[in-house]
Structure 1
Amino acid sequence: MSAIVAQSHHIFGIRAGVTNNVFYFDEQTIIFPSGNNCLRYNIDQKWQKFIQGSEKSHGMLALAISPNRRYLAVSERGEKGSITVYDLQQEQSKKRKVLTGGELPVQEFLCMAFSPDSKYLIAQAGAPDWTLFYWVWEKQKVMATMKTSSQSNPISQVSFNPQDNTQICVTGNGVFKLFRYAEGSLKQSSFQKLEGQNILCHAWVSEERVIAGTETAKLLVFESGDLRWEMSVEPKPASQEAER
Structure 2
Amino acid sequence: MEQKEGTGRSLVKRHAFGIRPDVYGCLNWVEEGTLLYPVGKTVVVHNLDSNTQRFFDAGVHSSGLTALAVSANKKFIAIAEGGIAPQIQIIDSVPRKRRKTLSVQDLGSESFVAMAFSVDGRHLATQGGAPQWNLFYWNWERSKPLALTSVIADLKVEGINESTSRFSVLHDARTKEPHGASSGPPPVSCVTICPRDPLLIAVSGLGMMRFYRYVDGVLQTQPPINYDLEGVSNFLTHTWVTGDRVVASTQTGELMIIEGGVYKRLLPVPPPTRAQLTNPTVLSLVPSKGGFIAGSDQGTVAIYENASGSSGEYSIVYTVPVPTEEELHTKKRALEGDETRPSATTAAGDRAALDENASGSSLADAPDPSSLKPWATKGSKRIFHVNTGVAKKITAAPVEKTRPQSGIQGWHAWMCFGKTAWCICHLISWRRPWR
Fold in common (TM above 0.5): yes
1:235 equivalenced with 2:262 (yes/no): no
Q: For 1:148 and 1:11, how far apart are their aligned partners in 2?
A: 37
- For 1:1-244, list aligned pairs within 5 A: 1=5, 2-90=7-95, 93-149=96-152, 154-192=187-225, 194-231=230-267, 233=269, 235=272, 238-239=275-276
Pick the structure with greater CA Rg: 2
Output the amino acid matched with 1:28: G
Q: Is the 8 A contact 1:179 1:190 kept in 2?
A: no
Aligned-pair CA distance for 1:239: 4.8
* CA RMSD across the alignment: 2.0
Output the amino acid matched with 1:219: L
Q: For 1:29 and 1:113, how far apart are their aligned partners in 2?
A: 20
151-160 vs 134-143, which deviates more?
A: 151-160
- Over residues 59-114 of structure 1, what are the superposed CA-to-partner deviations in whole Å (9 max), with x where a residue is unaligned? 11110001121111011111122111111111xx2111111222443311100011
- Point out 4+ residue stretches in structure 1 off by more than 6 angstroms: none
TM-score (norm 2): 0.52
Structure with the higher fraction of residues in helix conformation: 2
Q: Is the 8 A contact 2:258 2:264 kept in 1?
A: yes
Q: Is the 8 A contact 2:108 2:132 kept in 1?
A: no
Q: Is the 8 A contact 1:80 1:105 kept in 2?
A: no
Q: Structure 2: which 5+ runs fail to align?
A: 154-160, 165-185, 279-435
Secondary structure of the 2:141 match is: helix
203-212 vs 193-202, which deviates more?
A: 193-202
Q: Is the 8 A contact 1:67 1:114 kept in 2?
A: yes
Q: For 2:198 and 2:105, how far apart are their aligned partners in 1?
A: 23
Aligned-pair CA distance for 1:237: 5.6
Q: For 1:110 and 1:209, how far apart are their aligned partners in 2?
A: 24
Aligned-pair CA distance for 1:230: 1.8
Give the count of matched residue pairs: 239
Aligned-pair CA distance for 1:191: 1.9
Aligned-pair CA distance for 1:236: 7.4
CA distance 1:59–1:104, shift in 2 (3 Å):
closer
TM-score (norm 1): 0.92
Secondary structure of the 2:23 match is: coil
Secondary structure of the 1:195 match is: helix
Q: Structure 1: which 5+ runs fail to align?
A: none
Aligned-pair CA distance for 1:56: 1.1
Aligned-pair CA distance for 1:232: 5.7
Q: For 2:61 and 2:268, how far apart are their aligned partners in 1?
A: 44
Identity of aligned residues (%): 33
